[in-house]
Amino acid sequence: MLPEVTATRYVTPLREGGSLPGIVEADDLGTYVMKFTGAGQGRKTLVAEVICGRLGRRLGLRVPDLVTMQLDPVIGLGEPDQEVQELLKASGGLNLGMDFLPGSIGFDPLAYEVDAAEAGKVVWFDALINNVDRSWRNPNMLVWHGDLWLIDHGATMIWHHNWPGAAASAAKPYDASDHALAPFRPDIAAAAAELAPLVTKELLTEAAADVPDEWLVDEPGFETTDALRRAYVEPLLARAATIHERITLTAPSKPRPSQAPGWLTGHLTPWPHPAEAQKAAGE
């Protein structure tokens, strides 16, 4: 079970997050990034955050502490932003909190060096959970006190959106070419050798046990919340054994096309992908 706290003050929205997470204070005097059950992405995002966040921690990766947060929407009454008001109103009850890392900065591949061993672990972990949201466009990693921290595991385990096809979906390969750590020569083989044996049925069962019942009830095809918890274990267990053989990792062959309008592109210097910048620097 995750520790449960009660939200006492909504501080401010984090506008860079697509789901409009907010910074919220709680009755344990902690400050959290709160992810809301009423957000457009739905409660499965929160289930994924818990299972993958807990699993990552148990594999020795840095993921901020997680809690469940009781929210009384009344704490948002003074919030001037209509969108935030609506989100809080739709999210009464249990939400997810992630320990806020004060002073952390977003990971920048040009400013922060990651060694091949750590890059390998992160890429292997993302392949395991099928994370499609750690690309160079949106790294979802923070640097805090000189260390790399992993956040945002909401867009993972795509198979939980279609349970009847879960086994087939989880058997699919993982394309890591766009991964934010692809340029750091991730040592996938070493990561798999170290981490795969740790991903046992017991460990996955423990991670799934941390998901509150409220986010699991009434899933079509499942009689009980525990049956649904068990369904999360199987695809990850199967994937852990062999996913390292099915990770595609190629440096992008050409620079990304600029998204800037034509009248502006003539004035811009193309931004090289870090892999190419490294190559050019003669590494």
Ligand X SMILES: Nc1ncnc2c1ncn2[C@@H]1O[C@H](COP(=O)(O)OP(=O)(O)OP(=O)(O)O)[C@@H](O)[C@H]1O
Rounded to whole angstroms, the Cα distance separating 282 from 234 reads: 45
126 binding Mg ion? (CB under 5 A): no
Which range, of 68-76, 100-108, 192-200, 239-247, touches ligand X by CB under 6 A? 100-108
- Cα–Cα dist 28/26, whole Å: 5
| Per rule CB under 6 A, count of chain residues that contact ligand X | 21
Q: How far is the CB of 142 from ligand X (least distance, A)?
A: 6
- Shortest distance in whole angstroms from residue 101 CB to ligand X: 4
Beta carbons of 34 and 69 less than 8 angstroms apart: yes
C-alpha distances in angstroms, 148 versus 55, 101, 122, 211? 17, 12, 10, 25
At position 74, the amino acid (one-letter code) is: V
CB of 190 to Mg ion, least distance (A): 27
Q: Which of 20, 28, 156 is nearest to 91 (CA)?
A: 20
Q: Which of 92, 106, 252, 272 binds ligand X (CB under 6 A)?
A: 106
Q: Which of ligand X, Mg ion, none is residue 106 near (CB under 5 to 8 Å by kind)? A: ligand X
Structure token digits, residue 102? 């004060």
| Closest distance of CB 276 from Mg ion, Å | 25
By C-beta, is 133 or 175 nearer to ligand X? 133
Q: Does 152 bind Mg ion (CB under 5 A)?
A: yes
> Rg of the chain over CA atoms, in angstroms?
20
Other C-beta atoms lying within 10 Å of the C-beta of residue 277 = 14
Q: Give the residue with the Cβ less far from ligand X, 153 or 273.
A: 153
- Stretch in the footprint of Mg ion (CB under 5 A) among 79-87, 145-153, 166-174, 222-230: 145-153
Interface with Mg ion by CB under 5 A: which range of 83-91, 108-116, 139-147, 239-247? Answer: 139-147
Considering the complex, state which of residue 141 and residue 236 has its C-beta at the smaller distance from Mg ion: 141
Exposure b/e, 63-102, CB count within 10 A at least 16 = b: bbebbbbebebebbeebeeeebbebbeebeebbbbbebbe
Residue span binding Mg ion (CB under 5 A) among the ranges 7-15, 83-91, 146-154, 245-253: 146-154
Token pair 């993958």 is found at 52
Q: Which residues bind ligand X (CB under 6 A)?
A: 14, 16-19, 21, 33, 64, 98-101, 104, 106, 133, 138, 140, 142, 151-152, 154
